[in-house]
Structure 1
Amino acid sequence: MSDVNEVAASTGDQQVMKPAQPIILHHLNNSRSQRVLWLLEELDVPYTIQKYERDPKTVLAPPSLKQIHPLGKSPIITDGSTVIAESGAIITYLLETYAPHLIPSPSTQEEQYRRYVYYMHYAEGTLMLYLVIALVMDKIASAPMPFFARPIASKIVASVRDAYLSPNLEQNFQFLEKELEGREWFAGGETFSGADFMMLFPMEAAVKRGGAGKGFENIKNWVEKVHERPAYKRALEKGGEYSYF
Protein backbone atom coordinates (compact mmCIF):
# COMPACT_ATOMS: atom_id res chain seq x y z
CA MET A 1 0.00 0.00 0.00
CA SER A 2 1.04 3.59 -0.53
CA ASP A 3 1.17 6.16 2.24
CA VAL A 4 0.09 9.77 1.72
CA ASN A 5 1.30 12.07 4.40
CA GLU A 6 1.63 15.70 3.43
CA VAL A 7 0.95 18.39 0.88
CA ALA A 8 3.44 18.56 -1.97
CA ALA A 9 2.28 21.20 -4.40
CA SER A 10 -0.77 22.81 -5.90
CA THR A 11 -2.49 22.72 -9.28
CA GLY A 12 -4.65 25.78 -9.71
CA ASP A 13 -6.12 26.56 -6.29
CA GLN A 14 -6.11 22.92 -5.16
CA GLN A 15 -3.40 21.07 -3.30
CA VAL A 16 -1.70 17.84 -4.31
CA MET A 17 -0.87 15.24 -1.69
CA LYS A 18 2.64 13.90 -1.33
CA PRO A 19 3.62 10.19 -1.17
CA ALA A 20 5.52 9.03 1.89
CA GLN A 21 8.34 7.89 -0.38
CA PRO A 22 9.12 8.65 -4.02
CA ILE A 23 7.04 6.90 -6.64
CA ILE A 24 9.10 4.84 -9.09
CA LEU A 25 8.22 5.16 -12.77
CA HIS A 26 9.51 2.23 -14.82
CA HIS A 27 10.02 4.14 -18.04
CA LEU A 28 10.57 2.68 -21.51
CA ASN A 29 11.88 4.96 -24.24
CA ASN A 30 9.46 5.78 -27.08
CA SER A 31 6.42 4.56 -25.20
CA ARG A 32 3.16 5.52 -23.53
CA SER A 33 5.17 6.02 -20.37
CA GLN A 34 5.84 9.59 -21.49
CA ARG A 35 2.30 10.69 -20.65
CA VAL A 36 2.67 9.33 -17.11
CA LEU A 37 5.93 11.23 -16.81
CA TRP A 38 4.12 14.41 -17.88
CA LEU A 39 1.46 13.82 -15.21
CA LEU A 40 4.07 13.27 -12.49
CA GLU A 41 5.74 16.54 -13.46
CA GLU A 42 2.43 18.42 -13.40
CA LEU A 43 1.62 17.02 -9.95
CA ASP A 44 5.14 17.78 -8.72
CA VAL A 45 5.16 14.72 -6.47
CA PRO A 46 8.46 13.06 -5.54
CA TYR A 47 9.37 10.31 -7.99
CA THR A 48 12.33 8.57 -9.53
CA ILE A 49 12.77 7.11 -13.00
CA GLN A 50 14.00 3.60 -13.69
CA LYS A 51 14.84 3.64 -17.40
CA TYR A 52 14.59 0.71 -19.79
CA GLU A 53 15.70 0.66 -23.43
CA ARG A 54 14.00 -1.08 -26.32
CA ASP A 55 15.92 -3.76 -28.18
CA PRO A 56 17.38 -1.97 -31.25
CA LYS A 57 16.46 -4.89 -33.54
CA THR A 58 13.08 -6.07 -32.26
CA VAL A 59 12.02 -2.71 -30.72
CA LEU A 60 10.61 -4.75 -27.82
CA ALA A 61 10.94 -3.96 -24.13
CA PRO A 62 13.77 -5.72 -22.28
CA PRO A 63 13.00 -8.92 -20.30
CA SER A 64 13.97 -7.11 -17.08
CA LEU A 65 10.60 -5.34 -17.05
CA LYS A 66 8.97 -8.72 -16.32
CA GLN A 67 10.63 -8.60 -12.93
CA ILE A 68 8.35 -5.67 -12.12
CA HIS A 69 5.16 -6.92 -13.80
CA PRO A 70 4.54 -10.32 -15.44
CA LEU A 71 3.62 -8.80 -18.82
CA GLY A 72 6.82 -6.78 -19.00
CA LYS A 73 5.18 -3.74 -20.57
CA SER A 74 5.67 -0.04 -19.84
CA PRO A 75 4.51 2.13 -18.19
CA ILE A 76 4.55 0.67 -14.70
CA ILE A 77 4.71 2.56 -11.43
CA THR A 78 5.70 1.35 -7.98
CA ASP A 79 4.22 3.29 -5.08
CA GLY A 80 5.40 1.66 -1.88
CA SER A 81 4.32 -1.96 -2.23
CA THR A 82 1.72 -1.10 -4.87
CA VAL A 83 2.60 -2.01 -8.46
CA ILE A 84 0.35 -0.70 -11.24
CA ALA A 85 0.60 -1.25 -14.98
CA GLU A 86 -1.41 0.21 -17.90
CA SER A 87 -1.55 3.94 -18.60
CA GLY A 88 -5.22 4.37 -17.77
CA ALA A 89 -4.95 2.49 -14.49
CA ILE A 90 -1.82 4.46 -13.52
CA ILE A 91 -3.34 7.84 -14.34
CA THR A 92 -6.55 6.98 -12.48
CA TYR A 93 -4.58 5.79 -9.45
CA LEU A 94 -2.34 8.86 -9.32
CA LEU A 95 -5.27 11.26 -9.58
CA GLU A 96 -7.48 9.40 -7.10
CA THR A 97 -4.62 9.11 -4.61
CA TYR A 98 -2.83 12.44 -4.94
CA ALA A 99 -4.98 14.89 -6.93
CA PRO A 100 -8.68 13.91 -6.87
CA HIS A 101 -9.61 17.50 -7.74
CA LEU A 102 -8.38 16.78 -11.29
CA ILE A 103 -11.22 14.27 -11.72
CA PRO A 104 -14.51 16.06 -12.51
CA SER A 105 -17.19 15.44 -9.90
CA PRO A 106 -20.03 13.20 -11.18
CA SER A 107 -22.47 15.02 -8.90
CA THR A 108 -21.57 18.66 -9.58
CA GLN A 109 -19.78 18.43 -12.96
CA GLU A 110 -21.81 15.74 -14.68
CA GLU A 111 -21.06 16.71 -18.29
CA GLN A 112 -17.34 17.14 -17.64
CA TYR A 113 -17.27 13.84 -15.75
CA ARG A 114 -18.90 11.96 -18.64
CA ARG A 115 -16.44 13.50 -21.09
CA TYR A 116 -13.59 12.59 -18.77
CA VAL A 117 -14.69 8.94 -18.59
CA TYR A 118 -15.28 8.80 -22.34
CA TYR A 119 -11.82 10.06 -23.30
CA MET A 120 -10.09 7.92 -20.69
CA HIS A 121 -11.36 4.95 -22.73
CA TYR A 122 -11.50 6.43 -26.23
CA ALA A 123 -7.76 7.16 -26.31
CA GLU A 124 -6.73 3.50 -26.40
CA GLY A 125 -10.02 1.81 -27.24
CA THR A 126 -10.66 3.70 -30.48
CA LEU A 127 -8.05 6.20 -31.64
CA MET A 128 -4.92 4.15 -30.93
CA LEU A 129 -6.44 1.15 -32.72
CA TYR A 130 -6.32 2.94 -36.07
CA LEU A 131 -2.93 4.50 -35.40
CA VAL A 132 -1.40 1.11 -34.59
CA ILE A 133 -2.87 -0.35 -37.78
CA ALA A 134 -1.37 2.58 -39.69
CA LEU A 135 2.03 1.81 -38.18
CA VAL A 136 1.73 -1.87 -39.11
CA MET A 137 0.79 -0.97 -42.69
CA ASP A 138 3.82 1.33 -42.93
CA LYS A 139 6.11 -1.43 -41.69
CA ILE A 140 4.68 -3.94 -44.16
CA ALA A 141 5.08 -1.49 -47.03
CA SER A 142 8.74 -0.84 -46.18
CA ALA A 143 9.74 -4.35 -45.09
CA PRO A 144 12.40 -6.25 -47.08
CA MET A 145 10.81 -8.90 -49.30
CA PRO A 146 11.39 -10.71 -52.61
CA PHE A 147 10.75 -8.44 -55.60
CA PHE A 148 7.87 -10.60 -56.81
CA ALA A 149 6.09 -10.28 -53.45
CA ARG A 150 6.25 -6.49 -53.23
CA PRO A 151 3.42 -5.77 -55.72
CA ILE A 152 1.15 -8.15 -53.79
CA ALA A 153 2.05 -6.60 -50.42
CA SER A 154 1.65 -3.09 -51.81
CA LYS A 155 -1.79 -3.93 -53.16
CA ILE A 156 -2.92 -5.37 -49.82
CA VAL A 157 -1.61 -2.33 -47.91
CA ALA A 158 -3.28 0.07 -50.34
CA SER A 159 -6.58 -1.80 -50.06
CA VAL A 160 -6.54 -1.69 -46.26
CA ARG A 161 -5.64 2.00 -46.26
CA ASP A 162 -8.24 3.01 -48.83
CA ALA A 163 -11.16 0.88 -47.67
CA TYR A 164 -10.67 0.91 -43.90
CA LEU A 165 -7.84 2.91 -42.41
CA SER A 166 -7.99 6.32 -44.10
CA PRO A 167 -11.79 6.73 -43.77
CA ASN A 168 -11.71 5.84 -40.08
CA LEU A 169 -8.76 8.11 -39.31
CA GLU A 170 -10.43 10.96 -41.18
CA GLN A 171 -13.69 10.40 -39.31
CA ASN A 172 -11.94 10.42 -35.94
CA PHE A 173 -9.87 13.50 -36.76
CA GLN A 174 -12.99 15.38 -37.80
CA PHE A 175 -14.69 14.28 -34.58
CA LEU A 176 -11.78 15.46 -32.42
CA GLU A 177 -11.47 18.72 -34.33
CA LYS A 178 -15.10 19.49 -33.52
CA GLU A 179 -14.78 18.31 -29.91
CA LEU A 180 -11.92 20.73 -29.28
CA GLU A 181 -13.75 23.68 -30.80
CA GLY A 182 -14.06 26.20 -27.98
CA ARG A 183 -12.55 23.83 -25.42
CA GLU A 184 -9.13 24.07 -23.83
CA TRP A 185 -9.16 20.52 -22.47
CA PHE A 186 -10.95 17.31 -23.36
CA ALA A 187 -13.26 17.17 -20.36
CA GLY A 188 -14.26 20.76 -21.05
CA GLY A 189 -13.11 22.29 -17.79
CA GLU A 190 -10.74 25.16 -17.08
CA THR A 191 -7.85 22.83 -16.31
CA PHE A 192 -6.63 19.47 -17.55
CA SER A 193 -7.93 16.14 -16.29
CA GLY A 194 -6.83 12.54 -16.65
CA ALA A 195 -8.46 12.54 -20.08
CA ASP A 196 -5.81 14.90 -21.42
CA PHE A 197 -2.94 12.76 -20.17
CA MET A 198 -4.52 9.70 -21.79
CA MET A 199 -5.09 11.55 -25.06
CA LEU A 200 -1.53 12.89 -25.29
CA PHE A 201 0.10 9.82 -26.84
CA PRO A 202 -2.46 9.19 -29.61
CA MET A 203 -2.79 12.91 -30.34
CA GLU A 204 0.97 13.23 -30.79
CA ALA A 205 0.97 10.15 -33.02
CA ALA A 206 -1.98 11.52 -35.00
CA VAL A 207 -0.17 14.78 -35.71
CA LYS A 208 3.27 13.27 -36.28
CA ARG A 209 2.37 10.17 -38.27
CA GLY A 210 -1.38 9.94 -38.77
CA GLY A 211 -1.98 12.97 -40.98
CA ALA A 212 -3.75 15.18 -38.43
CA GLY A 213 -1.00 17.78 -38.60
CA LYS A 214 -2.52 19.33 -41.73
CA GLY A 215 -6.04 20.64 -41.95
CA PHE A 216 -6.96 20.02 -38.30
CA GLU A 217 -5.95 23.18 -36.51
CA ASN A 218 -7.65 22.43 -33.19
CA ILE A 219 -5.85 19.09 -32.92
CA LYS A 220 -2.53 20.63 -33.87
CA ASN A 221 -3.01 23.56 -31.48
CA TRP A 222 -3.90 21.26 -28.58
CA VAL A 223 -0.71 19.25 -29.04
CA GLU A 224 1.38 22.41 -29.36
CA LYS A 225 -0.22 23.84 -26.21
CA VAL A 226 0.73 20.73 -24.24
CA HIS A 227 4.25 20.80 -25.66
CA GLU A 228 4.68 24.36 -24.40
CA ARG A 229 3.84 23.49 -20.81
CA PRO A 230 6.92 23.65 -18.55
CA ALA A 231 6.00 20.30 -16.97
CA TYR A 232 5.86 18.63 -20.38
CA LYS A 233 9.25 20.05 -21.32
CA ARG A 234 10.75 18.76 -18.07
CA ALA A 235 9.19 15.35 -18.69
CA LEU A 236 10.64 15.24 -22.20
CA GLU A 237 14.08 16.16 -20.93
CA LYS A 238 13.99 13.54 -18.18
CA GLY A 239 12.41 10.78 -20.24
CA GLY A 240 14.96 10.68 -23.04
CA GLU A 241 14.31 9.43 -26.56
CA TYR A 242 10.70 9.91 -27.63
CA SER A 243 9.68 9.91 -31.28
CA TYR A 244 5.89 10.13 -30.84
CA PHE A 245 5.06 6.51 -31.63
Structure 2
Amino acid sequence: MLTVHHLGISQSDRIVWLCEELGIPYELVRYDRDPVTRLAPASYKALHPSGTAPVISDDDLVLAESGAIIDYIVAKLGGGRLTLQSDHPDFAQFLYWYHFANGSMMPCMMMLMAEGSVAEMMRDRANRNLVALNEHFAKGNQWLAGEEFTVADIMILFPLTTIRAFVPLDLSPYPHLRSYLKRAIARPAFQRAMAKADPDLQIPAD
Protein backbone atom coordinates (compact mmCIF):
# COMPACT_ATOMS: atom_id res chain seq x y z
CA MET A 1 0.00 0.00 0.00
CA LEU A 2 1.35 3.42 -0.97
CA THR A 3 1.73 5.77 1.99
CA VAL A 4 2.35 9.48 1.50
CA HIS A 5 4.11 10.97 4.50
CA HIS A 6 2.98 14.57 4.28
CA LEU A 7 4.78 17.36 6.12
CA GLY A 8 2.41 20.30 6.46
CA ILE A 9 3.09 23.21 4.08
CA SER A 10 5.82 21.42 2.15
CA GLN A 11 6.72 19.95 -1.21
CA SER A 12 4.84 16.79 -0.27
CA ASP A 13 1.69 18.70 -1.33
CA ARG A 14 2.76 17.68 -4.83
CA ILE A 15 2.54 13.98 -4.07
CA VAL A 16 -0.92 14.17 -2.55
CA TRP A 17 -2.07 16.13 -5.60
CA LEU A 18 -0.50 13.58 -7.95
CA CYS A 19 -2.31 10.71 -6.25
CA GLU A 20 -5.60 12.58 -6.51
CA GLU A 21 -5.06 13.34 -10.21
CA LEU A 22 -4.27 9.70 -10.92
CA GLY A 23 -7.11 8.45 -8.75
CA ILE A 24 -4.94 5.81 -7.11
CA PRO A 25 -5.42 4.46 -3.56
CA TYR A 26 -3.02 5.78 -0.94
CA GLU A 27 -2.77 6.35 2.77
CA LEU A 28 -2.02 9.87 3.97
CA VAL A 29 -0.02 10.32 7.17
CA ARG A 30 0.31 13.96 8.16
CA TYR A 31 3.08 15.53 10.25
CA ASP A 32 2.91 19.05 11.69
CA ARG A 33 5.81 21.48 11.68
CA ASP A 34 7.28 22.73 14.94
CA PRO A 35 5.21 25.86 15.78
CA VAL A 36 8.33 27.84 16.75
CA THR A 37 11.05 26.75 14.32
CA ARG A 38 8.63 25.77 11.50
CA LEU A 39 10.91 22.79 10.85
CA ALA A 40 9.93 19.16 10.41
CA PRO A 41 9.52 17.12 13.61
CA ALA A 42 12.07 14.47 14.50
CA SER A 43 9.62 11.73 13.53
CA TYR A 44 9.52 13.03 9.97
CA LYS A 45 13.27 13.50 9.69
CA ALA A 46 13.71 9.89 10.79
CA LEU A 47 11.74 8.54 7.81
CA HIS A 48 14.59 8.89 5.31
CA PRO A 49 18.30 9.82 5.53
CA SER A 50 17.58 13.05 3.60
CA GLY A 51 15.36 14.28 6.44
CA THR A 52 13.32 16.30 3.96
CA ALA A 53 9.83 16.27 2.43
CA PRO A 54 8.37 14.56 0.52
CA VAL A 55 8.71 10.94 1.54
CA ILE A 56 6.63 7.93 0.52
CA SER A 57 6.67 4.30 1.55
CA ASP A 58 5.40 1.43 -0.57
CA ASP A 59 5.67 -1.93 1.16
CA ASP A 60 9.39 -2.12 2.10
CA LEU A 61 10.43 0.84 -0.06
CA VAL A 62 11.04 4.29 1.43
CA LEU A 63 11.68 6.99 -1.16
CA ALA A 64 12.42 10.73 -1.02
CA GLU A 65 12.84 13.56 -3.59
CA SER A 66 9.86 15.00 -5.43
CA GLY A 67 10.98 14.05 -8.93
CA ALA A 68 11.97 10.51 -7.98
CA ILE A 69 8.68 9.96 -6.15
CA ILE A 70 6.61 11.32 -9.02
CA ASP A 71 8.48 9.17 -11.56
CA TYR A 72 8.02 6.11 -9.35
CA ILE A 73 4.30 6.60 -8.80
CA VAL A 74 3.56 7.44 -12.43
CA ALA A 75 5.55 4.46 -13.74
CA LYS A 76 4.51 1.84 -11.19
CA LEU A 77 1.00 2.89 -10.20
CA GLY A 78 -0.17 5.45 -12.75
CA GLY A 79 0.30 3.65 -16.03
CA GLY A 80 2.53 6.42 -17.37
CA ARG A 81 -0.28 8.97 -17.25
CA LEU A 82 0.39 12.72 -16.90
CA THR A 83 3.62 12.41 -18.87
CA LEU A 84 4.42 12.74 -22.58
CA GLN A 85 6.11 10.08 -24.68
CA SER A 86 9.23 10.80 -26.70
CA ASP A 87 7.28 10.94 -29.99
CA HIS A 88 4.94 13.65 -28.70
CA PRO A 89 5.65 17.07 -30.31
CA ASP A 90 5.80 18.72 -26.87
CA PHE A 91 8.04 16.08 -25.28
CA ALA A 92 11.13 18.31 -25.00
CA GLN A 93 9.06 21.19 -23.61
CA PHE A 94 7.54 18.82 -21.07
CA LEU A 95 10.97 17.62 -19.94
CA TYR A 96 12.31 21.15 -19.63
CA TRP A 97 9.52 22.48 -17.43
CA TYR A 98 9.34 19.28 -15.38
CA HIS A 99 12.98 19.67 -14.35
CA PHE A 100 12.83 23.48 -14.27
CA ALA A 101 10.69 23.47 -11.12
CA ASN A 102 13.31 21.98 -8.79
CA GLY A 103 16.37 22.61 -10.95
CA SER A 104 15.90 26.37 -11.40
CA MET A 105 12.89 27.80 -9.59
CA MET A 106 13.15 26.13 -6.19
CA PRO A 107 16.83 26.99 -5.56
CA CYS A 108 16.07 30.65 -6.28
CA MET A 109 13.12 30.70 -3.91
CA MET A 110 15.06 28.97 -1.13
CA MET A 111 17.97 31.39 -1.44
CA LEU A 112 15.62 34.35 -1.10
CA MET A 113 15.41 33.41 2.57
CA ALA A 114 19.06 34.47 2.89
CA GLU A 115 20.37 38.02 3.03
CA GLY A 116 22.95 40.05 1.15
CA SER A 117 24.37 39.80 -2.36
CA VAL A 118 23.50 36.14 -2.85
CA ALA A 119 19.82 36.82 -2.15
CA GLU A 120 19.85 39.73 -4.59
CA MET A 121 21.41 37.55 -7.29
CA MET A 122 18.79 34.87 -6.69
CA ARG A 123 16.00 37.45 -6.78
CA ASP A 124 17.17 38.55 -10.21
CA ARG A 125 17.27 34.93 -11.36
CA ALA A 126 13.83 34.25 -9.91
CA ASN A 127 12.43 37.26 -11.76
CA ARG A 128 13.90 35.99 -15.04
CA ASN A 129 12.31 32.62 -14.39
CA LEU A 130 8.95 34.28 -13.77
CA VAL A 131 9.29 36.26 -17.01
CA ALA A 132 9.99 33.03 -18.90
CA LEU A 133 6.93 31.35 -17.40
CA ASN A 134 4.73 34.34 -18.13
CA GLU A 135 5.92 34.45 -21.75
CA HIS A 136 5.23 30.73 -22.12
CA PHE A 137 1.59 31.23 -21.17
CA ALA A 138 1.34 34.47 -23.13
CA LYS A 139 1.83 32.33 -26.25
CA GLY A 140 -1.48 30.61 -25.57
CA ASN A 141 -0.20 27.52 -23.79
CA GLN A 142 -2.75 26.23 -21.29
CA TRP A 143 -0.21 24.12 -19.41
CA LEU A 144 3.55 23.77 -19.28
CA ALA A 145 3.48 21.02 -21.91
CA GLY A 146 1.15 22.92 -24.22
CA GLU A 147 -2.43 21.67 -24.16
CA GLU A 148 -1.85 18.69 -21.85
CA PHE A 149 -1.75 18.83 -18.06
CA THR A 150 1.26 16.83 -16.85
CA VAL A 151 3.43 16.22 -13.80
CA ALA A 152 5.41 19.31 -14.86
CA ASP A 153 2.45 21.39 -13.67
CA ILE A 154 2.32 19.48 -10.41
CA MET A 155 6.02 20.18 -9.86
CA ILE A 156 5.89 23.92 -10.56
CA LEU A 157 2.97 24.92 -8.36
CA PHE A 158 4.78 24.65 -5.02
CA PRO A 159 7.52 27.24 -5.76
CA LEU A 160 4.86 29.60 -7.10
CA THR A 161 2.26 29.24 -4.36
CA THR A 162 2.86 27.30 -1.13
CA ILE A 163 6.42 28.48 -0.63
CA ARG A 164 5.07 32.02 -0.39
CA ALA A 165 4.15 31.13 3.19
CA PHE A 166 7.92 31.50 3.77
CA VAL A 167 9.12 33.82 0.98
CA PRO A 168 7.32 36.92 -0.39
CA LEU A 169 6.72 36.73 -4.14
CA ASP A 170 4.95 39.44 -6.14
CA LEU A 171 3.24 38.01 -9.22
CA SER A 172 1.37 41.17 -10.16
CA PRO A 173 3.65 41.86 -13.18
CA TYR A 174 2.86 38.42 -14.66
CA PRO A 175 -0.83 38.28 -15.69
CA HIS A 176 -0.54 35.18 -17.89
CA LEU A 177 1.21 33.27 -15.11
CA ARG A 178 -1.50 34.29 -12.65
CA SER A 179 -4.17 33.02 -15.03
CA TYR A 180 -2.33 29.72 -15.27
CA LEU A 181 -2.17 29.39 -11.49
CA LYS A 182 -5.91 29.99 -11.23
CA ARG A 183 -6.52 27.18 -13.75
CA ALA A 184 -4.28 24.81 -11.81
CA ILE A 185 -5.74 25.65 -8.41
CA ALA A 186 -9.28 25.19 -9.75
CA ARG A 187 -8.64 21.56 -10.73
CA PRO A 188 -10.86 19.26 -8.63
CA ALA A 189 -7.93 16.97 -7.80
CA PHE A 190 -5.93 19.92 -6.45
CA GLN A 191 -8.87 21.01 -4.32
CA ARG A 192 -9.26 17.49 -2.93
CA ALA A 193 -5.53 17.23 -2.24
CA MET A 194 -5.31 20.49 -0.33
CA ALA A 195 -8.45 19.71 1.66
CA LYS A 196 -6.69 16.57 2.89
CA ALA A 197 -3.11 17.81 3.16
CA ASP A 198 -3.31 21.46 4.23
CA PRO A 199 -6.95 22.46 4.74
CA ASP A 200 -6.08 25.69 6.57
CA LEU A 201 -3.55 26.93 4.02
CA GLN A 202 -4.64 29.80 1.80
CA ILE A 203 -3.18 29.18 -1.66
CA PRO A 204 -2.35 32.49 -3.39
CA ALA A 205 -2.93 32.74 -7.13
CA ASP A 206 -1.90 36.39 -7.54
Question: What TM-score range do you get, normalising by the shorter chain?
Answer: 0.7 to 0.9
Residue of structure 2 equivalent to 1:62:
41
Residue of structure 2 equivalent to 1:235:
193
3-state secondary structure, aligned to 2:195: helix
Q: TM-score, normalised by structure 2?
A: 0.87
Contact kept in structure 2, 1:207 and 1:220, CA below 8 Å = no
Gapped runs of 5+ residues in structure 1? 1-20, 138-156
Contact kept in structure 2, 1:53 and 1:61, CA below 8 Å = yes
User: Kindly tell me: are residues 54 and 206 of structure 1, through their superposed partners in 2, closer, same or farther at Cα, counting changes over 3 Å?
Assistant: closer
Contact kept in structure 2, 1:134 and 1:210, CA below 8 Å = no
Contact kept in structure 2, 1:30 and 1:244, CA below 8 Å = no
User: In 1, distance between residues paired with 2:170 and 2:103?
Assistant: 19
Contact kept in structure 1, 2:22 and 2:81, CA below 8 Å = no
Percent identical pairs in the alignment equals 33
User: In 2, distance between residues paired with 1:89 and 1:102?
Assistant: 15
Alignment of 1:27-106 (within 5 A): 27-97=6-76, 98-106=78-86
Aligned length: 199
User: Kindly tell me: are residues 161 and 177 of structure 1, through their superposed partners in 2, closer, same or farther at Cα, counting changes over 3 Å?
Assistant: same
User: Kindly tell me: are residues 85 and 160 of structure 1, through their superposed partners in 2, closer, same or farther at Cα, counting changes over 3 Å?
Assistant: closer
* Deviating 4+ runs (over 3 angstroms): 159-162, 205-208, 241-245
User: In 1, distance between residues paired with 2:58 and 2:80?
Assistant: 17
Residue of structure 1 equivalent to 2:100:
122
Q: Does 1:210 align with 2:169?
A: yes
3-state secondary structure, aligned to 2:90: helix
Q: CA RMSD in A?
A: 2.2
Q: Does 1:194 align with 2:140?
A: no
Shift in Å, 1:206: 7.8
Amino acid aligned to 2:133: L
Of Structure 1 and Structure 2, the greater strand share is in 1
Gapped runs of 5+ residues in structure 2? none
Structure showing greater Rg: 1
User: In 2, distance between residues paired with 1:234 and 1:223?
Assistant: 16
Q: TM-score, normalised by structure 1?
A: 0.74
3-state secondary structure, aligned to 2:190: helix
User: In 2, distance between residues paired with 1:243 and 1:26?
Assistant: 21
User: In 2, distance between residues paired with 1:184 and 1:37?
Assistant: 22
Q: Does 1:136 align with 2:114?
A: yes
Shift in Å, 1:114: 1.4
3-state secondary structure, aligned to 1:102: coil
User: In 2, distance between residues paired with 1:58 and 1:223?
Assistant: 29
